[in-house]
Every structure is written in structure tokens, then in C-alpha cells.
Structure 1
Amino acid sequence: MSRSASDQHLQECDSNPGGGVLKILHSKTKPLTAQLQVQRVVPQAELRMIGPWCFLDHFGPLTTPAYQDFNIPPHPHIGLQTITWLYSGELMHYDSLGYQQALRPGELNLMTSGRGISHAEIAQDNPTQPLHGLQLWSALPPADELTYPRFDHYRDLPQFALGECTATLIVGDYYDRLLKQRWQSPALSFHPSLALSLTTPRTTVLSLSLNPLFEHAIYIVSGSLYLVDSELTQPITAHQLLDLGSERDHLEIELAADTRVLVLGGEPFGQHLFMRWNFVSTELARVEQAQQDWDNGHPRFGDVNTD
């Protein structure tokens, strides 16, 4: 996914492990295309990164007549992995490596940009369901920034029950300290991290196991979440992010009926990060060179055929 022209100013990001301080943050409405707005969750002034996660957008639900507003034309990336995760609807991925891959709910499209790639995401024709999903970026560590670009599609990801929730492990591993059971996502990862989707049709209370070495946050996609035995007594609701900081090994939470949340985590990135438009690097010169190369039609980004 691409950011709009208004997002082409330089941003600088760092992990900020702040101990166990809890904060509720609000997403901000941003333009994605001329017709479509999204909820920008990360980065924002009070939270630039969560481990390696340097970007999170929430799009939709888009009604079927507005589906084509989503179409994102070919655009470049460097220095990151993109994750597209759908709750409903369908998209087609096209990239400069020649991959053409449909994405459906519960599946994962993971693109590693490395030294440079371009791609497009196109809404399906004649949709029958609203388009609703998330786009995430995970920054590549300095040693891997110039890796060869690749694309991976995962049709089957680990699913398990947490209370009344259906948990889907998108990235990383999850160890349930009460059940003493571990699940591992097959998704390619370059930095210790976690992306876990929770969905519940009924009110449920659960103990969420956390890695105390990670920074964590929980984004409320829909519904509401309450903290059990906490100084924060108000509900955290749709389009809000609960920043958990670090140094936590669990969190007692209550999810209202018909709630969806995304749990993100990761080891502090440990590197100062530069972001401009769709380019990410720990070296400013690489970001600036990528912009020049894209503007001048450099072959490093290839061509995307959407026919």
C-alpha cells in the first residue's frame, strides 16, 4: 500500500520502551486516494514504533459501490516488509517480480521490499462483501535492508482459542503461560515480533500472555476492550490504540461482544529510522537515493503489470 503525496515529508522514528505505562492513543484520519480515507494508527507523535512495526493503517469497511476507490496504482518500497490483512472482501496483489496473488480474509500477503520493489493492490471486480482490512509495515534491520526483494503468500496460519476469542497468529510466536503451549507463524520475519488477531462474538475475559522483552500495543478494530483490575477504567473503543509499553508478561482484558483487536509487539528496534513516503531506512541517504531513483525511472524498482 502507498501513502499519499501529503505524507511525503521526512519522519524519524525510534522505539520508546517506556516501562509499563499505559496510554490510550487515537488514530487519525488520512487520505489514501482522492476518494478514500483511512485511519492512521502508527506512526503518530506519541508512538513512532512498536518494536519493528513502524506503520499501521486501517481501511474500510468500504461498501461494494465504493470498492474501486481503493485501487492503489504501482508504487515503490525499500527497507521494510508490508503485510496486508483482510477481515472481509478481496484484493489482488501485483508486483515487479511478476507475482499476481489474490488475498482473502484469513490469508496473509507478505512482501519484503529489501533493496527495492514496486507493487499495486487492486480491488476485485463485482465484489459481494465490504472491503475491510489493515496494512502494516515492519522495518528491516540494518543488516537486511539491502536483501533481495521477495513475495510470500500464506494461506494457512495458526488459529487457536483464547477465552471466547478466535486467535490468528499472523507473525511471530505466541506462548500461553497458563496453557503452557506455544504457536508459531510460518511468516518470514527479520526481527523478533508479534502480530496477533483476536475476534470474539461474545463477551469474554482472558489473560493475554506477553513477552516482557517486547514493546506491545493493542489496536481496537471494532467493538471495545476493558482492562481488568487496572487504573484505566474507561473502555478502549474502535480506532483507539492501547500502548502497553514494555516489561509486561501478561494483561487481563475483557472484550465486549463482536470485538476485533490486533495485538502488536516486538523487541525494541534499537535503530533510528527514517521514513519518507514509502521508503524506510536507518540511513537517510538511502531514503533520498530511493526517491531520486523512483522519480528518474531507475530499473531497481522494475515494472508492474496489472493486466
Structure 2
Amino acid sequence: MSNLDRTPDMTACGGRAGVAGEPVRELIPGRVVQLGESTKVRRLLPTLGRRMVGAWCFIDHYGPDDIASEPGMQVPPHPHMGLQTVSWLHDGEVLHRDSLGSLQLLQPGQLGIMTSGRAIAHSEESPREHRDILHGAQLWVALPDHARHTAPAFEFHGELPVVTGGGLRATVMLGEVDGARSPGTAYTPIVGADLAVGKGASARLPLEPDFEYAMLTMTGGATVDGVLLEPGSLLYLGTNRSDVHIESDVDTRVLLLGGEPFDEQIVMWWNFVARTGEEVAAARAEWNAGAGSFGEVHGYDGERLLAPPMPAGPLKPRGRVR
């Protein structure tokens, strides 16, 4: 999925200046953003309060939306560079196409991970005949400098490892949880897991003290380290935790996102992650002039999406938080 904001900010983030060196409980509200023709999302990263959690640099939560009489998700071909996109569904299905020739239908519990590397383009859409409900999350992972110019790639994993205990069932999307490791490719120490918390559950989930973590409630309502999380809310947990307590009075789904704090300073604008504003400007010009190194997406019924105008004024680095 894309950042379809037509007036996106140029944002600098990364480095350890804004990383909490201790456990914290920082509740981050999402802001509503229009995505494509008919989908609204709650954007949780980047926000005014926090820009990254480990290498996770972008979090959109969408749905549950009734699209029975709607076209659903319709995101035209658009470019990416310097990042990985991680698609995760709870309800519905999304058809992924990219400039490598990949064509993959993504369904709930399946992992679609696209490594843009130096340049890629893709589209995402609900199939013409689709389920009534669409609900999921779109996540971006910033690539470290040694990997950001790598060849683009797309991975699909229909089955993922699962850890259970204490009324909790964790599906490991990326990284490792309690000895279970995802087959998804990662370029930094990172973790992503979908936690199904049963009604009446009370469990302690093991964590890595060197990682920083956040939790996003998808449905239901869990109490995490004493803080009640409503659907669509993100709780930043900081670092130096060996575990976290989760309990719930209703069936709940929560995404656990974390990783080693990202040391490098990055620049994010629209669908590009780079190191300087000049790199972003060059990528924007190349995409708008023609596909160039981004390639072409074949099979999407519609025009590709042009990048919006660059913001006025030079980039002003602000760190991970402000």
C-alpha cells in the first residue's frame, strides 16, 4: 500500500536520540488519511509524536470496512525505494502486482513482503469479486544503508510459525518470537507478530531487552502493561523489557512490532526512503518522467500514480520524535 497523501511532509527520522532507554507507556492516536478512491486508514507512524519503532517507519491500520457494494482497495501503480512493504490482512483479500511481474492474491494470515531496494513499482487492489469486509495493516520497514540499493524482490509466505501459551496465539510475521522464526527476509534485527488474545486470557510475552516495541490493537480491546488499548491505537513500550503482560476480557487481535533501534538517519517523503532530500527529488523526477529504473506494472486497469509536488524549502532534520 502507498502513502497517497498529495501534500506529504519531508521527514527525517532514525538515530537513537528519541529512543526511550527504559520501559514507557506512550499512547499514540492515529490520524485519518484517505487512501485511494474508497479506503480510509488510520496512520500511526510517522506521527507528530514518534516516527520509528526499530526499523518500522510506517504503520497504516484500515478497516474493518464493509465493501460489499464498493470497489474496495484501488491503489494504482506507484514507486518505492529504500524500504520493505509488509502486507497483513485480517479480513478480505488484496491482489498485488509489481514491476517484477509478480501477481499474488494475499489473504488473511499470509505474508506478502516486497523489498523495494533501489527501485520498484506495484499496485494493490481488491479483486472484482471480493469478500464483504476489508481489514488489515500496511507496514513499512526502512532498509539499512548496506541493503537499500539491493535488487528488488517480492516474497509470499502462505504459512507462518505460531507460538501459543496463556490464552495467547502469536503468528510470527517477521523475526523471532519465543524460538519461532518467520521465513520472511529481514535486513535489521526486527520482530513483527500477530497476537490473538482469547477472552479471559492473561499472558506474559517474552521480549528482547535491546529492542524497542509498540503494540497496535486491531480488534477487541487488550490491556497491555496496565494500559487499555482500543482498536486503532498504538502503544509505544520503549526498551529494556524482558517481557510484557497482556490480558483481555474479549477476543482481541494485537500486532506486536519491534526491533533494535535504527541507528541511521533517513529521509521519508511520499513513497521513498532515502538519506537526503536530493535523492528523493531525483527519484521523484525519474518516476514522473517515465517508469525508468522503477519498471512498469502490467495488468492494472488504470493509470499509474504520479508523485505530488515537492514541499517548499529545504529538509529540516527533526530526529525520531518531536
**TM-score bracket, shorter-length normalisation:** over 0.9
- CA contact under 8 A between 1:171 and 1:196: conserved in structure 2? yes
Amino acid at match of 1:289: A
Match 1:105 to one of 92, 105, 108: 108
Amino acid at match of 1:211: E
- CA contact under 8 A between 1:273 and 1:281: conserved in structure 2? yes
Secondary structure of 1:295's aligned partner: helix
- Asked if residue 276 in structure 1 is aligned to residue 278 in structure 2, the reply is no
Structure 1 gap ranges (5+):
176-181
Residue in 1 that maps onto 2:36 = 33
The two structures have a TM-score, normalised by structure 1, of 0.93
Structure 2 gap ranges (5+):
301-322
Aligned length: 297
Match 2:175 to one of 160, 172, 176: 172
Q: CA deviation at 1:42?
A: 0.8
Amino acid at match of 1:17: V
Secondary structure of 1:148's aligned partner: coil
Distance 2:174 2:263 in 1: 20
Alignment of 1:188-267 (within 5 A): 188-227=185-224, 233-267=226-260
Residue in 1 that maps onto 2:4 = 4
Residue in 2 that maps onto 1:187 = 184
Q: CA deviation at 1:92?
A: 0.7
- Asked if residue 89 in structure 1 is aligned to residue 92 in structure 2, the reply is yes
Amino acid at match of 2:13: C
Distance 2:69 2:278 in 1: 39
Distance 1:36 1:150 in 2: 26
- CA contact under 8 A between 1:67 and 1:123: conserved in structure 2? no
Residue in 2 that maps onto 1:153 = 156
Distance 1:201 1:7 in 2: 41
Distance 1:73 1:298 in 2: 14
Q: CA deviation at 1:298?
A: 4.2
Q: CA deviation at 1:91?
A: 1.0
CA RMSD of aligned residues (A): 1.5
Q: What do the CA deviations read for 1:28-59 (whole angstroms, capped 9, x no partner)?
A: 11111243210101111111000000000011
Q: CA deviation at 1:105?
A: 0.7
Q: What do the CA deviations read for 1:8-32 (whole angstroms, capped 9, x no partner)?
A: 2211222522121211111111111
- CA contact under 8 A between 2:67 and 2:133: conserved in structure 1? yes
Distance 1:76 1:65 in 2: 29
Q: What do the CA deviations read for 1:240-290 (whole angstroms, capped 9, x no partner)?
A: 111101111111221231211000000010011111100001233222211
* Cα distance, 1:7–1:216 mapped onto 2, change above 3 Å: farther
Secondary structure of 2:218's aligned partner: strand
- CA contact under 8 A between 1:67 and 1:127: conserved in structure 2? no
- CA contact under 8 A between 2:38 and 2:70: conserved in structure 1? no
Amino acid at match of 2:137: L
Q: What do the CA deviations read for 1:59-78 (whole angstroms, capped 9, x no partner)?
A: 11121335414111100000
Percent of aligned pairs sharing the same letter: 36
Residue in 2 that maps onto 1:17 = 19
Amino acid at match of 2:290: G
Distance 1:119 1:289 in 2: 19
The two structures have a TM-score, normalised by structure 2, of 0.88
- CA contact under 8 A between 1:67 and 1:131: conserved in structure 2? no
- CA contact under 8 A between 1:60 and 1:132: conserved in structure 2? yes
- CA contact under 8 A between 2:5 and 2:34: conserved in structure 1? no
Q: CA deviation at 1:221?
A: 1.0
Distance 1:104 1:115 in 2: 27
* Higher fraction of helix: 1
Of the structure 1 ranges 20-29 and 5-14, higher mean CA displacement relative to structure 2 is found in: 5-14
Distance 2:88 2:162 in 1: 15
